[in-house]
Amino acid sequence: MKDKILIPLSKPFQLDYAIVEKKLSKVLKSSKWSKGKYVEEFERVFEKYLGVRHAIAVSSCTSGLTLILASLNKPGEVIVPGFAFPAVANAVVWSGLKPVFVDVDQIYGNIDPLQIERVFTKKTVAILPVCNYGFPPDFDKLEKISKKHRIPLIVDSAQSFGASYKGKKCGGFGDAEVFSLSPSKIITSAEGGVVTTNNKKIADFVRNGRNYGKADNELFQFAGLSCRLSEFHSIMGIEMLKKIRQILKSRREIAKKYYDDLKGCSGITLPLLADEIKPSFNFFVVYIESGWRDKVLKELQKNGIEARNLFSPPVYEHPAFKQYIHSGFQLKVCEKLASQCITLPLYPGMSHKDAARVCKVLKKFF
């Protein structure tokens, strides 16, 4: 029998259903369940919040990434971090491209710009970093490399809505970014994603691509996908955006509690906080002293605390991607972080009492 979960890993922000019921009911009674006014409104408020020219709602972050990569319309390789949620490599493969895995930095587990230069070849068609746990990567160096080689920089920002780098919100970096709206993310519409870009060509391709690749004249211009966001999902997204300040404030308060309580705790390393980075704290990760991670996970579970080893194993060790690496392939930092990472519970509305309980179990263990 499994231990009873008293503190879950994540929970979506709880909207007041009475507020959205009227809109949902109105759509339900209409014939316009998709491609209606609410998806357009959601995209407008998304653009306004992030300060970008284009926001295109899609059915998932992965489908958004897949469409952006398809817009490149050329074969080749995409450089991706070896330590991330594997869906980033899924998008590359589904676009008919080859993922090239590189090592990451030791602090946040984000792609290491130095490693990008080492694997760059004439076959490289894009660089695809991930904002792991909601920490933005070094966008200055990444954009410099992108411009130097004239290669698109496409960002998997699934976890970084509300994060910023040097005072600029995630959403307008590189050629395009994609956010996730799944239940574990900063804002959620149950499922979905949003592509943001200041590039009209990419925006137009994604708008048509989410609707089979059809143009306004109903002719299929290319082989697209069916990955629109419904009116129901869009209503939830609109209402979530209205609460974004409250959501981010709550997350940052719990993160501060973790930092304060776990600072200096033997056996635990916390991601450093830097002045130029303002994370979203989509997830709260700690790194456990080598050899103890799995025992700590069991101890947390025994105490009714849900924690996970996100992101372990490294992406390239999943069976789906074995064909893209050679025998003996190794990324030392990726494998170190994958063996030590634990994601602790953090969600909007989580009580300081529950956060203190998590810290108590960890400190008692060590």
Helices (H) and strands (E) in the chain, counts: 12, 13
What pLDDT is recorded for position 17? 85
Name which of 246, 238, 292, 242 is nearest 265 in CA terms: 292
Tokens of 228: 């629109």
Tokens 């230069």, residue located: 117
H-helix or E-strand containing 194? strand 193-197
Tokens of 141: 């160096």
d(CA 5, CA 152): 43
Taking only the tens place, the pLDDT of each residue in 194-206 is 999 999 999 999 9
Tokens of 365: 């263990």
What pLDDT is recorded for position 1? 40
Inter-residue contact 44 to 293 (CB < 8 Å): no
At residue 258, φ and ψ (nearest 5 deg) are -60, -45
Residues of the chain where predicted confidence (pLDDT) is lower than 50: 1
Question: Reduced to 3 states, what is the DSSP secondary structure of residue 288?
Answer: strand
d(CA 134, CA 164): 9
Mean pLDDT of the chain: 96
Name which of 86, 125, 83 is nearest 103 in CA terms: 83
